[in-house]
Amino acid sequence: MKHRLLIPAAVVTVLAVFSATAGATFPSNGAPLYVYQETFNGLATIPNYNDPASFNTAYYGGPTPPPGDLLGTSQFDGTSTDLTASGNQPPGVIVVNPCTGFTYNNANGCAAASTATTSNETEFMTVQSWPFYVGSSTSSNVNPGTFAVETQTDDGSWMTLSGQAYTYAQPGNFQNTAGLTAGVAAVDNGGMHSPAGVTSTFTIPGTGECATNLYYLTFEYFEAAGGQASVGYSWQPPGAPSQTTIPQAVVWGQVLYNGQPEPGATISIPLPGGGTVTVTSDTSGCFGYNYPPTWAGALNVGTVKATDTPHGSRTQKNKNTIVTMGDATFVQFSFPNPVPYVNLFKRITQIQTKGPTPAPGATYQTVVPTPDPNNPPGVAGTANTLNVYPGDIVTYTIYFDNSGSTPAYYPNLTDVLSPDMTYVLGSATGTCCINPTVSIPITPSVSGNTVTWTLATPLPTASPLSPQTIQGNVSVQAKVN
């Protein structure tokens, strides 16, 4: 049996939270928030563009803020926040309330009096980006349909929807979506203005496979010197009764059986506060779960398990069972960082058998199955159904690699055999890795009908990214009852 669990990303970043003074503090949950200084590129008047890419080009000379203008980083979950409240600013931002009794303008902060403070700096930009996964029925906790997204800010803000992180120029109706216009943000709340909310809608259909069901929202907000400063955003996904916070981290993937999409597999996904949630793969074997932005710090999304649906008759004890990858998705969720991409292949590589009706005193004969013709390089054995008999000892080998662009941190491999098999203790082994060549200790442990192999160090990315050989493998022997 071949099981391939592809898990691109599922962790929120670890970022410090700062408070300038006692009292209110800036929200510390959610995706990374980056704060940039507005240089304004010499402009005297702030233009009111309907897309952040045009706005950025006017001020920075390009569609994205320059790295040299980065003031600080934080986290933010979209909760409406008054940035002029004492200590209620993200790192790098200084907001001073306007001088009482004086005219406050864009150029000078406080003006019209020799005793006024003229060093107030409130011109800044914040940007965020995060993914969410849309799936039908029980394959995701966000269903397809019409979404209502709102930003509530002083001054301007935008929300763009696209197929990748930090896309400032709103694309058109990509991936069969409806209600988007190229060059116009999904939510256009731009311009200089007092606190104001703008809500817009778009529709995401219930079609597509895995990666095409992954969407990114990018939020950009700017504050011009003077008056109030407030920021917030929310959405109302299909089926929700009202506006709520937007998910800002996601785990998603696909389960394959013998190279084909596996519908109806149940996926157990851990929750940050403990416990698990279960989703079911769709007709394309795809699944996804979106985490609400209700915690701060790091989340190690580990032990993601898929439970296979039954395949074929078991009258002669057909031995194809599930293998899962856990703790393989830990990545600093800080765009535009790449992600790990862990592939799993399970094969029967040896059978020790006395046959269906062994004679008294018969000895074990070793059968080495012919490798499947479509095996990746470095993978032996077969995923085809093989008939085995009571008393036979079956050797399973699980091959794994990481064809992503960053290491998979401290992964566990978990294999659960069927109830009519018993592990042969002491047979669990592991080696890692080639391509690149590296020595990683792998510790096996057995509990009931489950064996787990723990890698002591991160599983490296392949070299090259599309590996010519499988990086490592583990094996286990099990006796047929």
Q: Which domains does the chain have, with CATH numbers?
A: 1-309 (no CATH), 328-480 (2.60.40)
Q: What is the mean pLDDT of the chain?
A: 75
Find out whether 134 and 142 touch, Cβ atoms under 8 Å.
Answer: yes
Mean pLDDT of 201-230: 84
| pLDDT attached to residue 17 | 21
In whole angstroms, what is the distance from residue 184 CA to residue 195 CA?
Answer: 21
Cα(402)–Cα(8) distance, integer angstroms: 11
* Selection from 95-109, 141-155, 159-173 with the highest mean pLDDT: 141-155
Number of residues that make up the chain: 481
Can you give the three-state secondary structure of the chain, one letter per residue?
Answer: CCEEECCCCCCCCCCCCCCCCCCCCCCCCCEEEEEEECCHHHCCCCCCCCCHHHHHHHHHCCCCCCHHHEEEEEEECCCCEECCCCCCCCCCCCCCCCCCCCCEECCCEECCCCCCCCCCCCCEEEEEEEEEECCCCCCCCCCCEEEEEEEEEECCEEEEEECCCCCCCCCCCHHHCECCECCECCEEECCCCCCEEEEEEEEECCCCCHHHHEEEEEEEEEECCCCCCEECEEEECCCCCCCECCCCEEEEEEEEECCEECCCCEEEEECCCCCEEEEECCCCCEEEEEECCCCCCCCCCCCCEEECCCCCCCCCCECCCEEEEECCCCCCCCCCCCCCCEEEEEEEEEEEECCCCCCCCCCCEEECCCCCCCCCCCCCCECCCCECCCCCEEEEEEEEEECCCCCECCCEEEEECCCCEEECCCCCEEEECCCCCCCCCEEEEEECCEEEEEECCCECCCCCCCCCCCCEEEEEEEEEC
pLDDT single digits (tens) 325-380: 332 232 223 333 445 667 778 888 999 999 888 888 889 999 998 888 878 888 88
Which pLDDT tens digit goes with each residue over 84-129? 777 788 877 765 544 444 333 333 344 433 333 333 345 788 999 9
Kindly list the distances between the CA atom of residue 372 and the CA atoms of 1, 137, 304, 378, 381, in Å, as whole numbers in the listed order.
10, 35, 27, 12, 6
Amino acid at 122: T
Instruction: Using the predicted structure, report yes or no on whether residue 480 has a pLDDT greater than 90.
Output: no
Of residues 385 and 119, the one with the higher pLDDT is 385
> Model confidence at 305, in pLDDT bands (50, 70, 90)?
low
pLDDT of 237 reads 96
For the ranges 169-173, 225-229, 257-261, which has the lowest average pLDDT?
257-261
Is pTM, for the whole model, over 0.75? no
What pLDDT score was predicted for residue 379?
A: 87
Interval 222-240: pLDDT, tens: 987 656 789 999 999 999 9
* Cα–Cα nearest to 96, from 126, 129, 118, 63: 118
Do the Cβ atoms of 451 and 476 come closer than 8 Å? yes
pLDDT higher than threshold 50 for residue 21? no
